[in-house]
Chains A and B, each alone.
Chain A
Amino acid sequence: MNPTVIAGLSATILLLPILGSALCGFLGVPLGRRFVNWVGTVSIGLAFAAVLVLLALLLHAPQGHQSSTVVLWNWLSLGAGSNLGVSVNVTVDALSVWMLLVITGVGFLIHVYSVGYMEHDPGVARFFSYMNFFIFAMALLVLAANMVILIIGWAGVALASYLLIGFWHDRRSAAVAARKAMITQVIGDVALVLAAFLIFVNLGTAPYCPPGAHCPAAAGGAQHLHTLNLPQIFAHASSLGPNSPTLTIICILIAIGAFAKSAQFPLHTWLPDAMEGPTPVSALIHAATMVTAGVYLIARFHPLFDLAPVAAGMVASVGMGTSIMAGFIALSQTDIKRVIAYSTMSQIGLMIFAVGIGAYAAGLYHLMIHAFFKALLFLAAGNVIHTMHDEQDIRQMGGLQARMRITAWSFLVGSLALGGFLFGGMFSKEDLLGFGTVNGPAAPALYIVGVAVNVLTGLYAFRLYGVTFTGEPRSDLARHAHEARRVMLIPVVILAALAAVAGWVLQWPVTIAGFRPAFVDAFLNPVFHTAVSGPIAHEPGAGLAGIGFVIGTGLSVIGIAVALRIWVRRDLDAPAWFRGPILGWLPRLSFHKLYIDELYDALLVRPGYALARVLRRTVEPEVMDGWVRGVTGVATDFSAGIRSVQTGLIRDYASIMVFFAVAFTVALIIAAGLVH
């Protein structure tokens, strides 16, 4: 691949969204809605086109040349010989292109949809400015080949999510949700920054000896690498040795960063609240951008995780744990967006599980399929909410199938893809779970949890569909619902088509024995076959995948069937046997989200406030204010002293000058005399 072309295309992908953001932000208000709509969407569309060109180049690149790292420009370098330097360099390989396809492709559809969704909102310029910035930050994050740049993108994503979740900042709930998201993100940011510090300080390189030269054996041992360029980091990852505690700590810190972004337990509570933003924002956060960043991060740092099986095992367990927890919670939520939000958490948990057990390609495969059907579900839900005048409670809905046919059919496709039957998820999810049987010591146990998640997924997906779209309308709003505008339907239909066919196409040609996604494997796996070979296998055992596929799909179908039986055209309560005294706590537990918010409230928030109150009453006025007042007092006194010297009288100024001039001269002459 020609480096100049790669650099140009990557720069285009980065610059178009940020340019769009700047144009919308600075000129959006004076130039009006039409301008914003066009700039906001076209910039992302063109970026997507550039990504497609990259994809074409990548597919035609000869074997072994499918990864290319180019320097866009040097941000900072302290010359030759100094090892401190940061350059904006980007890696274009199957992994980053795969992510970019999702980010810009699905992102573009969401932007188009937003044109319709935000048509009455006065803040549309601000909205598109933030949205484009979001895309920019994500693109920077996945393209970055330097950890500093990666962290800039990482923090940019957090900022964008804060701005967008709190987009309606005059609503208290939105402001609180935005703050919650930001605080959680900052925990992740700090972890990632600490990981960067540890890498910078600890990663070493064996002394380089050019071939043919005579190198003394004891040339000082390993030298510190002192760089944050990812290719170098990965190339020297093994210098710490396998199972090194440092590497494990680094990987755990990276994983904490990933958990915060991907809403994994225990940093997951921001995600359901994040739906306080406009619905396209939810679609963007849940499908195309933010939550996938954690999956990407672990996949990108796979050379480190391959060498740290303990950290990787933790990642897999947390992912699977979050997955079943979120699936359980999703069963009883009554807010249409909240159900989808928990389903996101559950699906992302599966992907985190996949990258934790080394099934990187499978995790990323599900990431893309999930982006399709999750964006679809959110945008279709947005149509519902739009026509229901911002009512989000599914108990007020029902019978919408007859009133909004296209949305309902699309939603059905999305639910099938999510549930794992016929479409999308049937391929990617089973492929992902198939690895669970072979990799890692804890994996078989996790696999059993995974198939349970399958049942839950089918259940909540079709509970949501049944309650919302079938049966009789349960409110006037639902009775007067109507189909959405075309600009909001077209993206939904496109996404429905993608969710329906992507699995089939990417799986092609289907081999009965393996049921492996041939294209995905061929495309993505070269990235993960690095020179560093860790203790984690990248391939599922032969023959198991086919059986796993049958088991997984079967359980999904059971879940779907039970859900259809209970909720389609029926009332909305839990089935009778869950209302009794014996099992009645289960729906309650689910409805209250396992009381985790309450737990955090009791363990962290309340004690925090209490501590703050105590500190404010005792420590603050005496100790803190004391020394702050002392310091500022000294500074102000000093300042006043200087001002009092500044009399405005020339004779004073001149005398002070003379004094110091003479003092300096005399002192130096004396000092010079003493020296000699």
Chain B
Amino acid sequence: MSMIAGLPLATATPGGGDLVGLLPEVIVAVGFVALMLMDLVVPPSRRSWLAGATAAVLAGAFAMSVWGWFDAGPAGRTVYFGAVAYDRLSAFVNCVVLVSSLVTVMISPGYLNRRGLHHGEYYALLLAATVGMMLLDAATSLMVIFLAIELLSISLYILSGFARDEERSQEAAIKYLLLGSFASAFMLFGMALVYGETGHTQLAQIALAMSHPGPLDPLLVGGVILMFVGFAFKVSAAPFHFWTPDVYQGAPVAVTTFMSVATKVAAFAVLIRVFDDAFASYYAHWSSVVIAVAIISMVVGNLAALTQTSVKRMLAYSGIAQAGYILIGVAVGVAVPLGVQGALYYLAAYAVTNIGAFAVVTVMSGHGEDLDSYDHLRGLWFRRPYVAAALGFFLLSLGGFPVTAGFFGKFLVFAAAIAAHNVALAIWGIGTSAVSIFYYLRVALLMFQRREEGEEQPYAWPRTSLLGGGAVAATAAGTLILGTAVPLLLTVVQLAQAGTLPGAT
């Protein structure tokens, strides 16, 4: 409440302090423009330089975000007249998004070269999408939220269709574009209703308006739900998930890697900020929808994944299911702070694990196409033992086995559900994750299966490059660390949760 009272009116010009709050975003945005220009002067044979430059930009922004974590302090503040939050939630999510981008950049050059897709605008688009995500996790105004979502979406539409001469990639792009616009329309409609009913676009003011006692406005409830639909589409929660398998499978796998992790992380950050914080006083009205979507996601995602035969599609459905688990945390997050903390922990755990799993598919992909059917992985252990071991480890983490990051993600959100006296929700989660073990371990088992005597290898797995191997090793290490040194990240997410702006609760 104290935050809201101190809000300045939008009459002054933004000062230097406002710029500091946006510094990481500015760095990446400048990098985006610079890379577009560099692409014109760097000879095609030297495109890997662009990757280096991109990595430098991302690393710089990461360093600034870490600094921002300390500079913003426990309470944080809003900048640009309450439009953007400079708080620990945004700093934390920025870091996760930037690390995901960085790992994607590490595995990209080798992959793009093999696929013959190495074009300069790839890196620029990656940075543009990253800026969108960073803005999204910091946005505290409906306008900024919408702009950020469009910025990241448009970049991703293009990246999905990056394999220009491949029909599937084209199809993925057009599907994503059409359905994404559709979802944006829902969200915009919801925002319009919220604005119409409260008269504000800033989350802090909206929260203030919502907490006023008075007759309940059904249209406001409708606006809140429609906004949730828009976010649910972005985090690919069922039943708004239909684009996910098609797009994940069609897009070049390096793009899928990025998209499946970073988009989800950023979208969940804004979902937490808007629903668990700003809309907290309407908790009673939206919680049942979030719980329903969580359960539908867990059921649909896990059951549909059972019968897949492509790793990319399986991971797409698994991503839908994981969104369901994270939604558990969001659904109980208003009543129990552990819910939001668990969701944030889960996000980081999901990021390292899933990006690792996709990175393995990326570094093992062949010339001209992604080799992602189950049959392609058969016997991987005997040719590429380290890569296979890493993928097995990621799959265990996705399944939620102890000593991996995934276990504690699940543990924390389930614990939060139980603490919120919603035991049924936790049981749904536990039951469906038992189902998920089947399809995760099925893939893990395939890698240890020898090919029949005399059966020839349909193709040769490429040699793992130093960067690709490094990416896989780093994500595996991250998965292990988040599963063993839990208080490390738990403390961080507790601080991030406590300092979330606009701080309506």
Question: For the complex, is A519 an interface residue (Cβ under 8 Å from B)?
Answer: no
Question: For the complex, is A654 an interface residue (Cβ under 8 Å from B)?
Answer: yes
Q: How far is the CB of A222 from chain B (nearest CB, A)?
A: 25
A25–B306 CA distance with the chains assembled, in angstroms? 34
In the complex, are the beta carbons of B486 and A74 less than 8 A apart?
Answer: yes
Q: A76-B486, A635-B306, A640-B307 are in contact. Are A654 and B240 (CB under 8 A)?
A: no
A652 to B, closest residue via Cβ:
B242
In the complex, are the beta carbons of A76 and B175 less than 8 A apart?
Answer: no
Q: Which residues of B contact A673 (CB under 8 A)?
A: 216, 218
A646–B306 CA distance with the chains assembled, in angstroms? 15
- A residues 39-82 near B (Cβ < 8 Å) are 73-79
**Interface-located stretch among B54-62, B80-88, B178-186:** B178-186
In the complex, are the beta carbons of A75 and B221 less than 8 A apart?
Answer: no
In the complex, are the beta carbons of A79 and B494 less than 8 A apart?
Answer: yes
Q: Which residues of A contact B415 (CB under 8 A)?
A: 78
Q: Which residues of B contact A672 (CB under 8 A)?
A: 216, 218, 221, 285
Q: Which residues of B contact A635 (CB under 8 A)?
A: 303, 306, 435
**Interface-located stretch among A391-399, A586-594, A661-669:** A661-669
Question: For the complex, is A636 an interface residue (Cβ under 8 Å from B)?
Answer: yes
B301 to A, closest residue via Cβ:
A642
Q: Which residues of A contact B240 (CB under 8 A)?
A: 657, 660-661
Q: A75-B484, A668-B222 are in contact. Are A656 and B239 (CB under 8 A)?
A: yes
- B residues 444-492 near A (Cβ < 8 Å) are 484-487, 490
Question: For the complex, is B304 an interface residue (Cβ under 8 Å from A)?
Answer: yes
Question: For the complex, is A643 an interface residue (Cβ under 8 Å from B)?
Answer: yes
In the complex, are the beta carbons of B289 and A668 less than 8 A apart?
Answer: yes
B219 to A, closest residue via Cβ:
A669
A668–B218 CA distance with the chains assembled, in angstroms? 9
Query: Interface SS of chain A: helix, strand, loop or mixed?
Result: helix
A673–B221 CA distance with the chains assembled, in angstroms? 10
Question: For the complex, is B233 an interface residue (Cβ under 8 Å from A)?
Answer: yes
In the complex, are the beta carbons of A664 and B229 less than 8 A apart?
Answer: yes
User: Which of A73, A657, A673 has the most chain B CB atoms closer than 10 A to its own CB?
Assistant: A657
A636–B306 CA distance with the chains assembled, in angstroms? 7
Q: Which residues of B contact A643 (CB under 8 A)?
A: 304, 307
In the complex, are the beta carbons of B226 and A646 less than 8 A apart?
Answer: no
Question: For the complex, is B374 an interface residue (Cβ under 8 Å from A)?
Answer: no
Q: A639-B307, A642-B300 are in contact. Are A77 and B179 (CB under 8 A)?
A: no
Question: For the complex, is A581 an interface residue (Cβ under 8 Å from B)?
Answer: no
Question: For the complex, is B6 an interface residue (Cβ under 8 Å from A)?
Answer: no
In the complex, are the beta carbons of B183 and A657 less than 8 A apart?
Answer: yes
A654–B219 CA distance with the chains assembled, in angstroms? 23
Give the residue of B226, B292, B306, B386 whose beta carbon is less than 8 angstroms from that of A665. Answer: B226
Give the residue of B239, B303, B408 whose beta carbon is less than 8 angstroms from that of A639. Answer: B303
Q: Which residues of A contact B303 (CB under 8 A)?
A: 635, 638-639, 642
Question: For the complex, is A676 an interface residue (Cβ under 8 Å from B)?
Answer: yes
Q: Which residues of B contact A522 (CB under 8 A)?
A: none
In the complex, are the beta carbons of A653 and B242 less than 8 A apart?
Answer: yes
Question: For the complex, is A648 an interface residue (Cβ under 8 Å from B)?
Answer: yes
Q: Which residues of B contact A26 (CB under 8 A)?
A: 386
Q: How far is the CB of A663 from chain B (nearest CB, A)?
A: 9
In the complex, are the beta carbons of A668 and B285 less than 8 A apart?
Answer: yes
Q: Mark B290-305, 1 if CB is under 8 A from A, else 0.
A: 0010000000100110
Q: How far is the CB of B189 from chain A (nearest CB, A)?
A: 9
A263–B369 CA distance with the chains assembled, in angstroms? 57
Q: Which residues of A contact B215 (CB under 8 A)?
A: 676
Q: Which residues of A contact B218 (CB under 8 A)?
A: 669, 672-673
A75–B407 CA distance with the chains assembled, in angstroms? 13
Which range holds the interface residue count of chain A?
35 or more
Q: Which residues of B contact A650 (CB under 8 A)?
A: 174-175, 178-179
Q: How far is the CB of A311 from chain B (nearest CB, A)?
A: 31
A671–B224 CA distance with the chains assembled, in angstroms? 14
B175 to A, closest residue via Cβ:
A650
- B residues 303-322 near A (Cβ < 8 Å) are 303-304, 306-307
Q: Mark B226-252, 1 if CB is under 8 A from A, else 0.
A: 101100010000011011011000000
Q: How far is the CB of B237 from chain A (nearest CB, A)?
A: 11
Give the residue of A654, A668, A671 whose beta carbon is less than 8 angstroms from that of B182. Answer: A654
B305 to A, closest residue via Cβ:
A639
A650–B228 CA distance with the chains assembled, in angstroms? 21
A333–B246 CA distance with the chains assembled, in angstroms? 69
Q: Mark A621-664, 1 if CB is under 8 A from B, else 0.
A: 00000000000000110111011011010101110110011001
Q: A639-B307, A672-B218 are in contact. Are A77 and B487 (CB under 8 A)?
A: yes
Question: For the complex, is B286 an interface residue (Cβ under 8 Å from A)?
Answer: yes
Q: How far is the CB of B483 from chain A (nearest CB, A)?
A: 9
Q: How far is the CB of B171 from chain A (nearest CB, A)?
A: 8
A639–B309 CA distance with the chains assembled, in angstroms? 13
In the complex, are the beta carbons of B242 and A646 less than 8 A apart?
Answer: yes
A661–B229 CA distance with the chains assembled, in angstroms? 6
A636–B219 CA distance with the chains assembled, in angstroms? 40
In the complex, are the beta carbons of A653 and B179 less than 8 A apart?
Answer: yes
B407 to A, closest residue via Cβ:
A76
Q: Which residues of B contact A642 (CB under 8 A)?
A: 300, 303-304
A657 to B, closest residue via Cβ:
B240
In the complex, are the beta carbons of B225 and A668 less than 8 A apart?
Answer: yes
A523–B251 CA distance with the chains assembled, in angstroms? 69
Question: For the complex, is B288 an interface residue (Cβ under 8 Å from A)?
Answer: yes
In the complex, are the beta carbons of B484 and A676 less than 8 A apart?
Answer: no
In the complex, are the beta carbons of A648 and B239 less than 8 A apart?
Answer: no
B494 to A, closest residue via Cβ:
A79
A387–B83 CA distance with the chains assembled, in angstroms? 82
- B residues 369-394 near A (Cβ < 8 Å) are 386
In the complex, are the beta carbons of B179 and A74 less than 8 A apart?
Answer: no
In the complex, are the beta carbons of B242 and A669 less than 8 A apart?
Answer: no
In the complex, are the beta carbons of A639 and B304 less than 8 A apart?
Answer: yes
Q: Which residues of A contact B487 (CB under 8 A)?
A: 74, 76-77
- A residues 73-104 near B (Cβ < 8 Å) are 73-79
- B residues 401-440 near A (Cβ < 8 Å) are 408, 415, 435
B174 to A, closest residue via Cβ:
A650
A636–B305 CA distance with the chains assembled, in angstroms? 10
Q: How far is the CB of B194 from chain A (nearest CB, A)?
A: 13
A253–B132 CA distance with the chains assembled, in angstroms? 58
Q: Which residues of B contact A636 (CB under 8 A)?
A: 306-307
Q: Which residues of B contact A660 (CB under 8 A)?
A: 229, 239-240
A629–B414 CA distance with the chains assembled, in angstroms? 29
Q: How far is the CB of A90 from chain B (nearest CB, A)?
A: 16
14 other A-B residue contacts (CB within 8 Å) besides A76-B408, A639-B307: A77-B490, A635-B303, A638-B303, A639-B303, A650-B178, A656-B239, A657-B183, A657-B229, A661-B240, A664-B225, A665-B226, A668-B221, A672-B216, A676-B215
Question: Nearest 3 A-B pairs (CB), nearest first?
Answer: A653-B242, A642-B304, A639-B307
Which residues from chain A sit less than 8 Å from chain B, CB to CB?
26, 73-79, 635-636, 638-640, 642-643, 645-646, 648, 650, 652-654, 656-657, 660-661, 664-665, 668-669, 671-673, 675-676
Provide 10 A-B residue pairs closer than 8 Å at the C-beta atoms, listed in order of the A residue: A75-B485, A78-B415, A78-B490, A635-B435, A638-B303, A639-B307, A640-B307, A648-B246, A661-B186, A661-B225
